[in-house]
Amino acid sequence: MQMNLSTIAQILHLQQTFVTDAVVQDVVFDSRKVTPNSLFVPLVAQRDGHDFVPQALAAGAVATLWQSDHPLPAGHHENYLVVDDPLSAIQTLSQAYLHEVAPKVVAITGSNGKTTTKDMIAAVLSQKYQVAKTPTNFNNEIGVPLTILQMAPDTQILVVELGMDRPGQLTKLSALVQPDIAVITMIGEAHIEFFGTRAKIADAKMEIVSSLKPSGLFIYNGSEPLLVQRAAAVTQKQATFGRASTLDIYPSTIQTYQTYTTFRINLVPEFEFRLPLMGDYNVDNALAAILVGKQFQVDFQKIQEALAHFQPTKNRTQWLQAQNGAQILSDVYNANPTAMIDVIQNFQKILTTGRRILVLGDMLELGEQAPQLHAEVAQAIDLQAIAQVYLYGSEMRALRDALPSQLSVQWYSRDQKVKLIQDLQEILQPQDLILLKASNGLHLDEVVQALQKSN
């Protein structure tokens, strides 16, 4: 981003002049991440960002937004841009910058797989174009404008992840980015606490097409009836992926291994694609990425190379090594029933001379259905494949009660994390495989880190 303060003031309809018309090169919400020539955006949340404006300016910010209902500090300078709402202002600014750079926009949402799919799509398109993408999971009303404003001026395609936890959120985000291609990975149970049914989740996910350009393309999982039904009302061009041979793209073969997955597709049977990830569910994400690449005329050979070497976001089915040599499968960034069952089933297929051990934590935001949905995970656990199960969190009591007595199961409350770590360090053997999966709020990443260190 390269934008003069006077230009920013003009975009925000501010009658303001500057002694020095500095160039803003970055936008920052966290005063600890301020760099020289950045614009600081104070938000009012658990802490009021206005309290950190002096710190941001001292660190090199050339200007700050300032919410109009906050009294201006005595002796303030010309670099305070007073607006009604800093978040709304930065969204307006991001739309102006998006219009200026004018990249094609690929927007992705879904209950599972959207971050991995985003990473795959960006890798595929980078074979031919200058690409910017959502960093980590900056996929909400704050993260999306930040993603836009951080893209380079020569960006040709912006790959942006859109998240949601309430109706109407994707309508606003879709309007913010005006996608040329909209992708829905799948419909699961994530956030069902707020929606009640998968059908209502599907309705909310479909909001991504509300600002899809008339000439745009809607790519979705055609194996999901809820999406197929709703896609009938979409007037833009469509393409489907999934497992059925009636879809536009589907896998003809899939082979899964501990650290990678290979597959072939109907469009180019002679090509074998390889993903640096375990799990056949990742093939669906790759199919969406292939369709996007095909739409932008990326050669299949280049797509093949991109998928083989793309870098997935940390803590998503990531293999690590414990201090004693045991193999850790860390998938602790997030969890919902579909994702948990998928990773357990794939984990159970991995060959090992040692034991397979599960460490599962609560899946959050499931509402009244939480006990049933946790208990149903029991159906995915193979007694012949899993040696021990460690459960962490109050919701996991439902899974504990659903598991058969012949399986070794230990349950821990959320104040017993230290005990969980100690027990795992005591029993873990060098030849073992251990899977850790939970919602991010359980912070099982701390358990992963502890297993990587000496006890």
Mean pLDDT score, 139-145: 96
* 341 shares a domain with 221: no
Mean pLDDT score, 246-255: 97
Annotated binding site: 110-116
Q: Contact 108/279 with Cβ under 8 angstroms?
A: no
Confidence band of 423 (pLDDT split at 50, 70, 90): very high
* 136 shares a domain with 273: yes
Q: Determine the Cα–Cα distance for residues 210 and 183; give it in Å rounded to an integer.
A: 12
Q: Determine the Cα–Cα distance for residues 150 and 140; give it in Å rounded to an integer.
A: 15
Given a cut of 80, whether residue 76 has pLDDT beyond it is no
One-letter amino acid of 15:
Q
* 107 shares a domain with 78: no
Confidence band of 137 (pLDDT split at 50, 70, 90): confident
Domain assignment present for 412: yes
pLDDT at 159: 98
DSSP 190: T
Residue the block writes with tokens 């833009």:
236
Q: 297: helix, coil or strand? A: coil
Strand partners for 217: 181, 237
Residue the block writes with tokens 């949402």:
109
* 290 shares a domain with 155: yes
Query: Pick from 309, 333, 358: which residue ends a domain?
Result: 309
* 63 shares a domain with 146: no
Given a cut of 90, whether residue 95 has pLDDT beyond it is yes
Q: 191: helix, coil or strand? A: coil
Q: Contact 84/101 with Cβ under 8 angstroms?
A: no
Domain assignment present for 93: no
One-letter amino acid of 92:
T
Given a cut of 60, whether residue 444 has pLDDT beyond it is yes
Strand partners for 234: none
pLDDT at 15: 87
Q: Determine the Cα–Cα distance for residues 169 and 154; give it in Å rounded to an integer.
A: 29
Given a cut of 90, whether residue 318 has pLDDT beyond it is no
Given a cut of 60, whether residue 13 has pLDDT beyond it is yes
What is the tally of structural domains in the chain? 3
* 79 shares a domain with 107: no
Tokens of 170: 């994707």
Which residue spans within 242-383 are E strands per DSSP?
251-256, 261-265, 273-275, 318-321, 327-331, 356-361
* 132 shares a domain with 280: yes
Domain assignment present for 94: no
Domain assignment present for 429: yes
Going by C-beta distance under 8 Å and a sequence separation of 6 or more, which residues neighbour residue 91? 141, 145, 176
Confidence band of 21 (pLDDT split at 50, 70, 90): confident
Q: How many CA atoms lie within 13 A of 407 on its CB side?
A: 25
pLDDT at 315: 59
Which range in 42-46, 146-150, 330-334 is most confidently predicted, on average pLDDT?
146-150
* 69 shares a domain with 187: no
Query: Pick from 309, 343, 362: which residue ends a domain?
Result: 309
Going by C-beta distance under 8 Å and a sequence separation of 6 or more, which residues neighbour residue 439? 334, 335, 361, 362, 363, 364, 365
Which residue spans within 139-195 are E strands per DSSP?
157-161, 181-184
DSSP 72: P
Given a cut of 80, whether residue 192 has pLDDT beyond it is no
Supply the CATH number for residue 422's domain.
Answer: 3.90.190.20
Full residue range of the structural domain in which residue 429 is found: 318-451
List % helix, strand, coil for the chain (3-state, nearest 5).
35, 20, 40
Confidence band of 81 (pLDDT split at 50, 70, 90): very high
Considering only 103-107, 113-117, 190-194, 376-380, which range has the smallest mean pLDDT? 190-194
Domain assignment present for 165: yes
* 416 shares a domain with 294: no
Domain assignment present for 384: yes
Supply the CATH number for residue 64's domain.
Answer: 3.40.1390.10
Q: Contact 90/41 with Cβ under 8 angstroms?
A: yes
Annotated binding site for ATP: 110-116
pLDDT at 340: 94
Q: Contact 218/241 with Cβ under 8 angstroms?
A: no
Query: Pick from 250, 275, 309: which residue ends a domain?
Result: 309
Supply the CATH number for residue 125's domain.
Answer: 3.40.1190.10
Taken in order 274, 280, 285, 288, the sign of the CA dihedral is positive
DSSP 379: G
Strands 388-392 and 356-361: parallel
Confidence band of 165 (pLDDT split at 50, 70, 90): confident
Confidence band of 130 (pLDDT split at 50, 70, 90): very high
pLDDT at 333: 84
Indicate the angle between helix axes 169-177 and 143-150, nearest 10 degrees. Answer: 10
pLDDT in tens, 391-405: 999 999 999 999 999
Mean pLDDT score, 374-381: 96
Q: Determine the Cα–Cα distance for residues 330 and 325; give it in Å rounded to an integer.
A: 15
Domain assignment present for 91: no
Confidence band of 193 (pLDDT split at 50, 70, 90): confident
Confidence band of 19 (pLDDT split at 50, 70, 90): low
Given a cut of 60, whether residue 454 has pLDDT beyond it is no
Going by C-beta distance under 8 Å and a sequence separation of 6 or more, which residues neighbour residue 45? none
Given a cut of 80, whether residue 313 has pLDDT beyond it is no
Given a cut of 60, whether residue 78 has pLDDT beyond it is yes
Q: Determine the Cα–Cα distance for residues 9 and 345; give it in Å rounded to an integer.
A: 54
pLDDT at 188: 83
79 vs 124, which has greater pLDDT? 124
Residue the block writes with tokens 């906050």:
70
Q: Determine the Cα–Cα distance for residues 176 and 315; give it in Å rounded to an integer.
A: 29
Domain assignment present for 11: yes
> For the chain, what percent of residues have pLDDT higher than 70?
98
* 77 shares a domain with 112: no
Considering only 88-92, 130-134, 135-139, which range has the smallest mean pLDDT? 135-139
* 242 shares a domain with 114: yes
pLDDT at 365: 87
Mean pLDDT score, 140-160: 96
Given a cut of 70, whether residue 9 has pLDDT beyond it is yes
Indicate the angle between helix axes 169-177 and 198-205, nearest 10 degrees. Answer: 20
* 392 shares a domain with 258: no
| Summary mean pLDDT of the chain | 94
Confidence band of 16 (pLDDT split at 50, 70, 90): confident
Ramachandran assignment for 418, one of left (phi > 0), alpha (psi -120 to 50 degrees), beta (any other): alpha
Backbone torsions φ then ψ of 370, nearest 5 degrees: -55, -50
